Amino acid sequence: KGDWEIREDVRDELFWSPFVSSDAIEVTVDDGVVRLSGTVESWSERQTAEQNAYEAGAVRVDNDLRVRYGPDDLAP
């Protein structure tokens, strides 16, 4: 898949996931590597977003999502 296809597939996965609020997540792709950035509400939402990116075809995921309610080192 090309980067733009992966990006669109990741966005679709996040949009349709009942466990992720995709509104605050930015997706960029470079050579199949997906970078997720923004803020999510929980640690589980962060993990699910990463899993969705892999399911959409990411070669690797750089998960830079901040967690509003979670470990201090991941807080926004």
Residue 31 DSSP code: T
Beta bridge partners of 37: 26, 64
d(CA 35, CA 27): 6
pLDDT in tens, 40-49: 999 899 999 9
pLDDT in tens, 4-38: 999 999 999 999 999 998 889 999 999 999 999 99
pLDDT in tens, 34-74: 999 999 999 899 999 999 999 999 999 999 999 987 666 66
pTM score above 0.85: yes
**E-state strands within the chain:** 25-30, 33-42, 60-69
